[in-house]
Structure 1
């Protein structure tokens, strides 16, 4: 395995040579296709995954069966839920789904535990990533409790849009992203359409006035 993957993660490039060699020898690069369930509630966290390519969507299902989006893990990041489960020896409490083809470094528990115990650099890397994601989760809670739904939907449309300003998602999927009902998303999108900000087709939302959506998000104090 090439050592170059280590330098793609902020903090790991500072590892001393002996720890770097141990990390390389004790890890492996894995690939999973889009749509694969990477982990599920009740499963044991056996490997910390550091993403090289692709995205993993982490979501939780409520007692009523509604799926609630928590966060995404992107290339260059690790999964905070996996980190928490490995540190606390707890099973997963949410689902992780590969949204795209994913390539990642898998660090097994034995290597993870050993390096956390003896390497200050590796330990700092793990807890810094953990702290950043916890802050993101608090921001998510703040959004759900205090932000208007139209502002939250505008922000998520901007985040999910591709280079052609198209969001490939149904109203139900957007509802899951925002932790709300499909009907609420449909009503809000209808208002955006009335204002000339979006056009809708089956499974897609076209952002026809991206600047207007950005102004709405900025006026609320949210960051783009």
Structure 2
């Protein structure tokens, strides 16, 4: 890996871009850029983090899997973000309790634990960056808990269809994948999608959901 290839990756993160030049040079010198294929298990339960990852390209899905095999998506890490679970495990010297899966090809900057510990202890600016990102994601996780515990499933499904479609009229997904997103049974998702189809909001085909009435889905999602 040449210096030119990693010369400016810290500029992708506003908090890192504001660090003193010697700290940024240290990150560039001791960090390394890694690439992962789609579907790669980035981390998993029972494993201890060896690096702090800063995502440069791609998306990582962080999900919890119960003893019975039920899954729920906790959050996603996108380019320009770091992982709150990794941060928590590094700070607490604990193992992961969830798994992270590359949803797309991923490129990330990996900072070794020793450097992370050193900078948290000696650099107020780096420490502020770490805890600012940590607190924001914790707030997001509380929103997930609120949605799962208190919001109606039809409202959550409508919001998820809108979010995952990213403005497109079709969404390539399955009932099983949506059940993981929502932390519920596939049968629950199937019943709700059938109701949406009855109302003329969506049309289903194998592996694809066509959004026919996005305004209606938005109105329902806004009820949450």
Q: If the length of structure 2 is used for normalisation, what is the TM-score?
A: 0.95
Structure 1 segments unaligned to the other structure (5+ residues): none
Aligned residues: 220
CA distance in 2, matches of 1:168, 1:82: 30
The DSSP-based 3-state class of the residue aligned with 1:113 is helix
| Corresponding position of 1:70 | 74
**CA displacement 1:95-118 (0-9 Å, x = unmatched):** 110000000000110111111111
**Is residue 141 of structure 2 the alignment partner of residue 137 of structure 1?**
yes
| Corresponding position of 1:176 | 180
**Is residue 34 of structure 2 the alignment partner of residue 30 of structure 1?**
yes
**CA displacement 1:14-73 (0-9 Å, x = unmatched):** 111111111111101100010000111111100111101110001111121111211111
Q: If the length of structure 1 is used for normalisation, what is the TM-score?
A: 0.95
CA distance in 1, matches of 2:219, 2:197: 16
| Corresponding position of 1:127 | 131
**Superposed CA RMSD:** 1.0
**Is residue 214 of structure 2 the alignment partner of residue 192 of structure 1?**
no
**Is residue 81 of structure 2 the alignment partner of residue 104 of structure 1?**
no
**CA displacement 1:164-220 (0-9 Å, x = unmatched):** 322221101100110100000001101111111111111111111111111111233
CA distance in 1, matches of 2:88, 2:210: 38
| Corresponding position of 1:60 | 64
| Corresponding position of 1:4 | 8
**Is residue 116 of structure 2 the alignment partner of residue 85 of structure 1?**
no
CA distance in 1, matches of 2:9, 2:63: 27
Structure 2 segments unaligned to the other structure (5+ residues): none
Q: Decide which of 93, 112, 118 is 1:114's aligned counterpart.
A: 118
CA distance in 1, matches of 2:169, 2:58: 20
**Which of structure 1's runs of 4+ aligned residues deviate more than 6 A?**
none
